[in-house]
Amino acid sequence: MNDEHRNEPEMLNDAPGMPCPECGFRIRIGMRDLLRSRYINCPKCLLQLEVDREKSARSLELLQSLSVALDNIEELKHQKPG
């Protein structure tokens, strides 16, 4: 078994986004947009996804803390040593 998780989706590697459930197109959406928007539109098939805040409250909470963490990392990046 030499599976090296090659097929695993890139999570925090690339631009944030999620695959469209309809056409599979990678919808690029920032976490902040995701947290603020009620709807996400797929630019390819124009599918409108409703962000179900009640159902995804926990995930959104996690995303929010992650978003804050990422913000902190960004801030650290900008603080150049010296």
Minimum separation from the CB atom of position 41 to Zn ion (A): 9
Count Cβ neighbours within 10 Å for each residue of 38-65 and write b for 16 or more, e otherwise. Answer: eebebeeeeeebebeeeeeeeebeebee
Question: What is the closest distance, in whole angstroms, from the C-beta atom of residue 45 to Zn ion in the complex?
Answer: 3
Q: How far is the CB of 64 from Zn ion (least distance, A)?
A: 25
Reduced to 3 states, what is the DSSP secondary structure of residue 48? strand
Q: Site for Zn ion (CB under 5 A): which residue of 9, 23, 48, 73?
A: 23
Nearer to Zn ion, 14 or 22 (CB): 22
CA distance 12 to 18: 11
Binding site for Zn ion (CB under 5 A): 20, 22-23, 25, 42, 44-45, 47
